Amino acid sequence: MSSEVRTDWTRDAIAALFDMPFLDLVYEAASVHRAHHPRNAVQLSTLLSIKTGGCAEDCGYCSQSAHAETGLKATKLMDVRAVLQAAAQAKDDGSSRFCMGAAWRSPKDRDMPAIVEMVKGVRQMGMETCMTLGMLSEGQAKTLADAGLDYYNHNIDTSPENYANVITTRGFEERIETLEHVRSAGINVCCGGIVGMGETRADRVGFLHALATMPHPESVPINALVPVKGTVLGDMLADTPLAKIDEIEFVRTVAVARILMPLSMVRLSAGRESMSDETQALCFLAGANSIFTGDKLLTAGNAGDDKDAALFARLGVTAMQGEVKAELEAAE
């Protein structure tokens, strides 16, 4: 089972993985990880919010939604030069991929020339490029591909049936359409979601089922909800602390993602700031092999380079250097 790449997973089979004794599940996931990826190596990506806040969408978890009351100041699209400076710093800090995020429902065509300059500039520094700008038309995906964009992040976030409980201003199917535009343009897909939003186990099964039955995304970010005051879900969690996801269940989600999508990079994404070293170590054992570095995600705090350096030293883990795809192929 561990060496096959399948897109015919059923929900029952995925639920059965979640139900496995924890130690068997982690052992299985670790075996799949070791069969396909360098061991003890974790890829580092750095995020930059190139356009913050004031977003028209109503994603219930997001500090940047104009529908939320988070007091976040909205900004205009950053200058290309300032973006390239931040990328140079990330490279100096050992990151191999620079991910630029904008709080847009979708980019305007008038923004595309600056976006293209950012992609070209970051690539010239020898870093992999990733962007997350909301929904893309076929033409916009093609423009980004021509600029040399390596990855596009666009999350399905949760199960199709839970989607409308989290976001009402767009539908699950619209996410799938953008993912198709990205893939047909030849850009690597980065697609995952959030757990810990008060969803059920069945939603986590449905979320991973959707990912595992499409052409597997090259990167799968698994975010733990960062509860932000003034957002629907942040406030819900503050009122019902028991809804917070159990860390063992979080590790199970990572392990099942690894088993379902053996060749993908599974990224332990938002939420590490409040995660113990022990939980993160279990996630790495269960096959997570990428993280976001630095003190900040887009608007929320992140563990920070000093803490991560200490964690890596504690675990004997090293940073995976660039050329992730080539490494994946060599490990096959």
Catalytic residue, candidates 252, 267, 272, 283:
267
90 Cβ neighbours under 8 A, 6+ residues apart: 46, 48, 98, 127, 293, 294
> Can you tell me the distance from the alpha carbon of 110 to that of 195, in angstroms, rounded to the nearest whole number?
35
Q: Is 283 a catalytic residue?
A: no
Does 226 sit near ligand DTB (CB under 6 A)?
A: yes
> Please, what is the minimum distance in Å from the beta carbon of residue 103 to ligand SF4?
4
Does 283 sit near ligand SAM (CB under 6 A)?
A: no
Q: Is 267 a catalytic residue?
A: yes
Angle between helices 201-212 and 247-260 (to 10 degrees): 20
> Please, what is the minimum distance in Å from the beta carbon of residue 259 to ligand SAM?
22
- Stretch 140-169 residues interacting with ligand SAM (CB under 6 A): 154-155, 157
Q: Is 130 a catalytic residue?
A: yes
- Stretch 176-205 residues interacting with ligand DTB (CB under 6 A): 192
Q: Which of ligand SF4, ligand SAM, ligand DTB, none sits in contact with 65, Cβ below 5 to 8 A by type?
A: ligand SF4
Q: Which of 53, 101, 198, 294 binds ligand SAM (CB under 6 A)?
A: 101
Q: Which of 45, 132, 289, 290 binds ligand SAM (CB under 6 A)?
A: 132
Under 8 Å between Cβ of 293 and 93: yes
Under 8 Å between Cβ of 262 and 3: yes
> Can you tell me the distance from the alpha carbon of 106 to that of 89, in angstroms, rounded to the nearest whole number?
28
Residues in contact with ligand SF4, counted by CB under 6 A, come to a total of 8
Under 8 Å between Cβ of 261 and 9: no
Q: Interface with ligand SAM by CB under 6 A: which range of 40-48, 180-188, 220-228, 287-295?
A: 220-228
Give me 155's structure tokens.
């999350």
Amino acid code (one letter) for 297: L
Q: Is 99 a catalytic residue?
A: yes
Amino acid code (one letter) for 210: A
Backbone angles phi, psi at 27, to 5 degrees: -60, -45
Does 282 sit near ligand SF4 (CB under 6 A)?
A: no
- Stretch 71-100 residues interacting with ligand DTB (CB under 6 A): 99
Distances in whole angstroms, Cα of residue 257 to Cα of each of 132, 199, 234, 277, 309 = 21, 17, 25, 20, 26
Q: Is 34 a catalytic residue?
A: no
Q: Which of ligand SAM, ligand SF4, ligand DTB, none sits in contact with 157, Cβ below 5 to 8 A by type?
A: ligand SAM
Active site residues: 55, 59, 62, 99, 130, 190, 267
**In the complex, which residues of this chain contact ligand SF4 (CB under 6 A)?**
55, 57, 59, 62, 64-65, 103, 134
